[in-house]
Structure 1
């Protein structure tokens, strides 16, 4: 495996996203939604306007859980299967590069585009918050942006895995949407249904550990336990044991969610 080959492919993927203004469009979407939520997030409590950075993070967590996984899945679902349908995959593999170099190069290029758009979009909001609320909470906001990047990279890994497994772009796109629905909407409902249906007799002790099977829940836990003001607004504090209430541990779990699907994709993509 040669790093130069991987870097060349990654640079091409990033240039393509910059050329078609994908990065700019997503960054503007993040900025617009984040500013609206930051300004109107307290409307239910009868207050509008920029408030503390902690309150803004609390409001943005829900937005990120819905938006970033969808964008990451749509970005990467055709990374491999798209090349196969266009007939360019065989041409790429005829070059002096390995399948691993091609897969990693495409993933890293897409990851760079997603990271750039996420940091740029939320970073502009950080500048606005700093001018209004001061710089005291910027470290916490930087942690929020970092966890958002990790969430996006985890779902991008899942997207690349789906792209390797799918036979065509239509099936890959369907699998991507189904994956988003499962992890963002269905997974938590299934766990809650299990607890309610059994009266809490089954799965109650394993419930917090089952949350680790969903990167969206890992992201939620990571941000809930990073700030005292955020903890009081979520019910997770009553069910997540102290052993899991550690931001560094949740960050490691998120890294596992990035590495595991990518490793499976690498194994499946072998000839």
Structure 2
């Protein structure tokens, strides 16, 4: 498939999607939200413990992880839910398909453009938010923070891939938006509650291997684990080190699972779009 792709067509679609998000100031708005939250959490994230001020990058990232799990999936799902069904409702999809461009190129171009917009806003927002703290950060802190931002982008791309699948399957924009919000509720709010309920009902018989495997069914949990096991201090704060099997605490494996979450919904979306 890749050998027959006209990458210039993909770039044209991706550039249009990215420019549209720049033009309507979507990237700037999201970047501003991220930077304000990053600054607020860096300085006031430990206020409940009676301390105010920057207490280290590990503590900041531990607080930001919970925030990002709520915000990034929602932003990604809203960003992509009408990518295809919106074009269909406006009548522009038929015109697009009448041109010498394949459905795969259209889908890939839209995904690339939207991913670029999401990545730009995430990097700008969290980068600007921590810029004022640069004098207090060492080289190790910068790498750790960069890893956190990259993992947030990967999670966003996973949910963006899911939103493209929704956009291909939905009959109209209203239903697509409803399904997108439903997915956000399920993965961000309901999934972990169901898992905790199963753990309680099993009275501890749910082994760590099965528990860890079930966590891999949620890209938000994969993101959380990526950042928990990147620092011993963060592990102690979350207390998951004794629950997770060693095989599922390796960042390389977790990144591979996150990439699978990006690729799999996209493949299904392409199959259905064809």
TM-score with structure 1 setting the length:
0.97
Distance (whole Å) between structure 2 residues aligned to residue 29 and residue 44 of structure 1: 22
1:4 to 4, 8, 29: 8
TM superposition shift of 1:202: 4.1
Contact kept? 2:152, 2:223, Cα under 8 Å: yes
Map of 1:144 onto structure 2: 148
Distance (whole Å) between structure 1 residues aligned to residue 132 and residue 139 of structure 2: 10
Map of 2:104 onto structure 1: 100
Distance (whole Å) between structure 2 residues aligned to residue 146 and residue 204 of structure 1: 27
**Residue 173 of structure 1 pairs with residue 177 of structure 2:** yes
The 5-angstrom pairing of residues 251-266 of structure 1 reads 251-266=255-270
SS class of match (2:106) = helix
The 5-angstrom pairing of residues 155-166 of structure 1 reads 155-166=159-170
Map of 1:43 onto structure 2: 47
1:214 to 218, 223, 227: 218
Map of 2:70 onto structure 1: 66
**Residue 119 of structure 1 pairs with residue 123 of structure 2:** yes
The C-alpha deviation readout for 1:163-191, integer Å capped at 9, x for no partner, is: 00100000000000000000001111111
Contact kept? 1:115, 1:149, Cα under 8 Å: yes
Distance (whole Å) between structure 2 residues aligned to residue 250 and residue 151 of structure 1: 11
Distance (whole Å) between structure 2 residues aligned to residue 116 and residue 205 of structure 1: 36
Map of 1:194 onto structure 2: 198
Contact kept? 2:81, 2:163, Cα under 8 Å: yes
TM superposition shift of 1:218: 0.3
Distance (whole Å) between structure 2 residues aligned to residue 36 and residue 247 of structure 1: 28
Distance (whole Å) between structure 1 residues aligned to residue 209 and residue 157 of structure 2: 29
Contact kept? 2:38, 2:130, Cα under 8 Å: no
Map of 1:52 onto structure 2: 56
1:110 to 83, 103, 114: 114
1:32 to 36, 51, 67: 36
TM superposition shift of 1:251: 0.7
SS class of match (2:204) = coil
Contact kept? 2:228, 2:234, Cα under 8 Å: yes
TM superposition shift of 1:235: 2.3
What is the RMSD computed on CA atoms of the aligned residues? 1.1
Map of 2:231 onto structure 1: 227
TM-score with structure 2 setting the length:
0.96
SS class of match (1:226) = coil
- How many residues are treated as equivalent by the alignment? 270
Q: Where does the alignment leave 5 or more consecutive residues of structure 1 unmatched?
A: none
TM superposition shift of 1:249: 1.1
**Residue 16 of structure 1 pairs with residue 24 of structure 2:** no
